[in-house]
Amino acid sequence: MRRRWAALALALLLVAWGFAERRMLVIQAFALQDPPGLLAPSEEGPGARWVDDYFTVERLDERTYAIGEPRYAQQNFSYLILGSQRAVLFDAGPGIRDIRPVAESLTDLPITFLPSHFHYDHLGPAATFARVAVVDLPGLRARAPDGELALTRAEHLGFVEDVPTPTLKVTEWLEPGAVLALGERDLLVLYTPRHTEDSISLVDVASGLVFSGDFLYPGPLYAFLPNSSMGDYLEGANAVVAAAPGSARVLGAHRVKPPGAPVLDLQDVHDLQATLESIRAGTISGEGVYPVTYPVNERVTLLAEPRWLQRW
């Protein structure tokens, strides 16, 4: 009898693993570890200044700042992008400390917070911004008829570091492909899933800048989370290559080591594109069991599910 129960339990576990919640189970396992402590302050080079003992500010050009959190384990970077009429803060870090006063100290323009996606380490003090813009996907809009967008556990993943799941008060919806006009500066809102379903990048064609969020940064890219998809990841890479000038600098949301903001270039997007095509064709194999690590180039790797579980 006991054997029968054990077999039944095992069967149920396999069913759970094989269907919808497989990826959540993996992430739940991450959540069993203690939240990481702060790293020691790092040497950030002459281009960056420490604002206190936690944030760094780096002026990338006259109208673009990188605000770094080098002491946070995931080493997040958010970007303050200025026009003549308004400014956008693209991502806001994990919220261990409040990024808002740092951004407000750099400009008098009204600041709109725009997350690259909804993971907890990009939303910071999202609830405290008066202006919040979000990508206009039908599924999201339907959930927020009055602008109040309650995020789900699977979209936010805050349980990994004990961050409560927030509700965003959305004041502006940005269609994929729309141009966000900041006044004498235009940002193309590019839909670049599928680190998550809602991931966007921003392209400033005139300045030759791509703000890529978690779609691309130096280090391991996560393409095995709930809502990830390899096929859509490739579509995103194709979209960036089509929209960005060949000389573009690509500014990501994380780095693995100092100094300074995580800067890549369009060749890295081409390399990601080629790697995804090779994985789909089965002509390269990765290392490890779960996730599987595929090399993109010497700066970037791609973490994916084993080939038989990948979504294309």
Q: Closer to Zn ion by CB, 54 or 217: give it.
A: 217
Name residues contacting Zn ion, limited to 241-260 (CB under 5 A).
none
Site stretch for Zn ion (CB under 5 A), options 77-85, 142-150, 206-214, 276-284: 206-214
Size of the site for Zn ion (CB under 5 A): 2
Please state the closest distance from residue 242 (CB atom) to Zn ion, in A.
23
DSSP H stretches of helix in the chain: 2-18, 22-31, 100-104, 120-123, 138-143, 153-156, 230-243, 266-281
Site stretch for Zn ion (CB under 5 A), options 15-23, 43-51, 114-122, 298-306: 114-122
Cβ proximity of 221 and 297 under 8 Å = no
Site stretch for Zn ion (CB under 5 A), options 20-28, 38-46, 112-120, 180-188: 112-120
Structure tokens at 183: 């006044």
Q: Is 119 in the site for Zn ion (CB under 5 A)?
A: yes
Half-sphere exposure of 138 (CA within 13 A, CB side): 0
| The dihedral sign for the CA sequence 246, 248, 251, 255 | positive
Q: Closer to Zn ion by CB, 97 or 122: give it.
A: 122
Q: How many CB atoms lie within 10 A of CB 257?
A: 10
Q: Closer to Zn ion by CB, 48 or 149: give it.
A: 149
Please state the closest distance from residue 11 (CB atom) to Zn ion, in A.
33
Please state the closest distance from residue 227 (CB atom) to Zn ion, in A.
10
Q: How far apart are CA 304 and CA 291, in angstroms?
A: 5
Q: Is 198 in the site for Zn ion (CB under 5 A)?
A: no
Q: How far is CA 123 from the centre of its chain?
A: 10
Q: Is 232 in the site for Zn ion (CB under 5 A)?
A: no
| The dihedral sign for the CA sequence 146, 150, 154, 157 | positive
Please state the closest distance from residue 119 (CB atom) to Zn ion, in A.
3
DSSP labels, 112-160: EEE-SS--HHHHTTGGG-S-BEEE--HHHHHH-TTSEEEPPHHHH-GGG
- x/- mask, Zn ion, residues 170-189, rule CB under 5 A, reads --------------------
Q: Is 214 in the site for Zn ion (CB under 5 A)?
A: yes
Q: Closer to Zn ion by CB, 70 or 226: give it.
A: 226
Q: Closer to Zn ion by CB, 64 or 227: give it.
A: 227
Q: Closer to Zn ion by CB, 129 or 215: give it.
A: 215
Helix (H, G, I), strand (E, B) or coil at 309: helix
Q: Which residues pair with 241 in a beta bridge?
A: none
Please state the closest distance from residue 148 (CB atom) to Zn ion, in A.
22
Residue nearest to Zn ion (CB): 119
Structure tokens at 14: 């396999």
Task: Name the site residues for Zn ion (rule: CB under 5 A).
Answer: 119, 214
